[in-house]
A and B are shown apart, each in its own frame.
Chain A
Amino acid sequence: QVQLQESGPGLVKPSETLSLTCTVSGASVGIANYYWTWIRQPPGKGLEWIGNIYYSGSTKYNPSLKGRVTISIDTSKNQFFLRLSSVSAADTAVYYCARDGDSTGRGYFDYWGQGSLVTVSS
């Protein structure tokens, strides 16, 4: 059974950096054919694709985040990570990690974490 679990601070101050970890069990982040993805959802709003990472470390990001986002991976710990810098209240959201089970990363999100609410406030 594949499971993903987000972890990290629930409160971040404006202008600081948001950091989240996704710990994966039941599957390896170090093998080909899957893309490991971050998605967020502001309260009461729709989903936003943040970006993804392949086991090799290759990344794709949403250009709307204007270079503030970094996704990395640690295959030895079976984890991948999100860092979002210079946060503002607009970054308040539930952050999900998910597995894209399509070998080319087209959007077959078959497993999701339960979501982690991050609030940006002083």
Chain B
Amino acid sequence: SYELTQPPSESVSPGQTARITCSGDALPKKYAYWYQQKSGQAPVLVIYEDRKRPPGTPERFSGSSSGTTATLIITGAQAEDEADYHCYSTDSSGNVGAFGGGTKLTVL
């Protein structure tokens, strides 16, 4: 099955910029999607098609993708951004989906 790789944890000071990476062999050809999950809640989509924000996502959230790595960027991180972040994409055929292992973001 297809695999996406994320760092298990990242930390950022309030007001600073957080970057969370996601690596996968098919990412040069397939979009990445990013989900925020707070404790005890279902995930929420924050970035789609590498860099687009769905309605309701704050402007401090952005995304980029280059080669085999997609990146979620939080510019001016706030305490409320502390959560687990999961990337999602599909393999090169588009038939198999996969999530990364998730990154726990600490804002301190």
Contacts and interface: CB of A to CB of B under 8 A. Distances in A.
Nearest to A102: B48
B33 interface: yes
Interface in A87-103: 96, 102
A46 B100 contact: yes
A47 B31 CA distance: 18
B33 to A, nearest CB: 4
B88 A107 contact: yes
B18 to A, nearest CB: 18
Interface stretch (B58-66, B71-79, B90-98): B90-98
A83 interface: no
A52 B54 CA distance: 22
Contact of A60 (B54, B95, B101): B95
A109 B1 contact: no
Contact of B101 (A46, A62, A107, A114): A46
A62 B30 CA distance: 17
Contacts of B54: 110
Nearest to B93: A60
Interface of A: 37, 39, 45-49, 52, 60, 62-64, 96, 102, 104-110, 112-115
